[in-house]
Amino acid sequence: LIKEDKDESVDYFFKKIYNEGDDDTKRAMIKSFQTSGGKVLSTNWKDVKNKQYEQDI
């Protein structure tokens, strides 16, 4: 695969997880990614809901 194909594959993969996820999965992905400055992406709301990623980075 060339770089563009890989990028599209990864993009498709995360879009698929988000689109097929329940509300907690979506909430976890948004919070973890935004509050970590794009360094963390989690799908587990139980782990993410009380986590302060800003302090860990």
The total of structural domains in the chain comes to 1
pLDDT at 1: 56
Domain span holding position 21: 3-56
Backbone CA torsion sign across 51, 53, 55, 57: positive
pLDDT at 56: 64
4 sits in which H/E element: helix 3-20
Per-residue pLDDT of the chain (57 residues; tens, 9 = 90+): 566 776 788 899 999 999 999 999 999 999 999 999 999 999 999 999 999 888 765
Could you tell me the pTM of the whole model? 0.80
Residue 47 φ/ψ region, left for φ over 0, alpha for ψ in the -120 to 50 degree band, beta for the rest: alpha
pLDDT at 22: 98
